[in-house]
Amino acid sequence: MYLRLLVIAIAPGIAFALAAYLTDRFDREPLPLLTKVFILGALSVLPVSIAEQFLVSTNLFTGLFNIMFVSFIVAGLTEEYFKRLVVLKIAYNNTAFNEKLDGIIYSIFAALGFATIENILYVVIRFSANPYIGYYRGLLSVPGHMLFAITMGYYLSLAKFAPNNNEKRTFLRKSLTVPALLHGIFDFILMAEIPLLLALFVPYVIYLWVVNLKKLRLYYNESKLAAHHSES
């Protein structure tokens, strides 16, 4: 039973990480570095848990404001901050980070490392009596983390290759605030349990996929073009 739940919990993160790795066809990132980012993304669950528990203990809000605080600050901002910190500390200044697609790939690996451990905690430990939780999280939560990571990596790459410090600072700030906002909206819609908002959840998820796949395709095409130029 627990082995099956463990497989259900781990499979989505591994599958999406493999898909991201295969997407980076023209200038693939070093596997040891990607593995390190994934593992440290997974370990970031620890400081995230500590920070979230502290924020919850100091929360004075009630009702809808409490849900907003938990969605946007406790979950959205805290989780995206630590996932982003892994990329900044481990990959951002590495020489292997040499094109814009790399920012997305490293961000995805950090996010999926985090999402995999979070999934194990939910599926295997907290809700082991309900196997459907694993399918729900595999279809929504883990892909959600990946989509927020694409936005994060998009802005990290713009910062990395920015022509001046002002733009660099702007994009670095956006690499945290924008994915945190997207994450917060995702959680708020589900946690608020307001019928009108719930009706917007599927369109919002579709929006996340469309917008972020466009970002991924843009950097993929740049990588492809750079590879072709280097060959000619």
pTM comes to 0.95
- Give the pLDDT of residue 232: 62
Compute the average pLDDT of residues 81-108. 98
Average of per-residue pLDDT across 213-226 = 95
Confidence of residue 135 (pLDDT cuts 50, 70, 90): confident
In a domain, 16, yes or no: yes
Q: Answer yes or no: is 190 within a domain.
A: yes
In a domain, 140, yes or no: yes
- Specify the number of domains making up the chain: 1
Which alpha helices (H) appear in 2-141, and where do they start and end? Answer: 2-23, 31-43, 45-57, 63-68, 78-90, 100-120, 132-136
* Inside any domain, residue 128: yes
What pLDDT, in 10s, does the model give residues 49-73? Answer: 999 999 999 999 999 999 999 999 9
Query: What's the confidence (pLDDT) of residue 7?
Result: 87
Closest CA to 98 of 225, 229, 216, 226: 226
- The DSSP output letter for 117 is H
16-27 pLDDT tens trace:
999 999 999 999
The reply to whether 231 falls in a domain is no
Domain that holds residue 215: 2-225
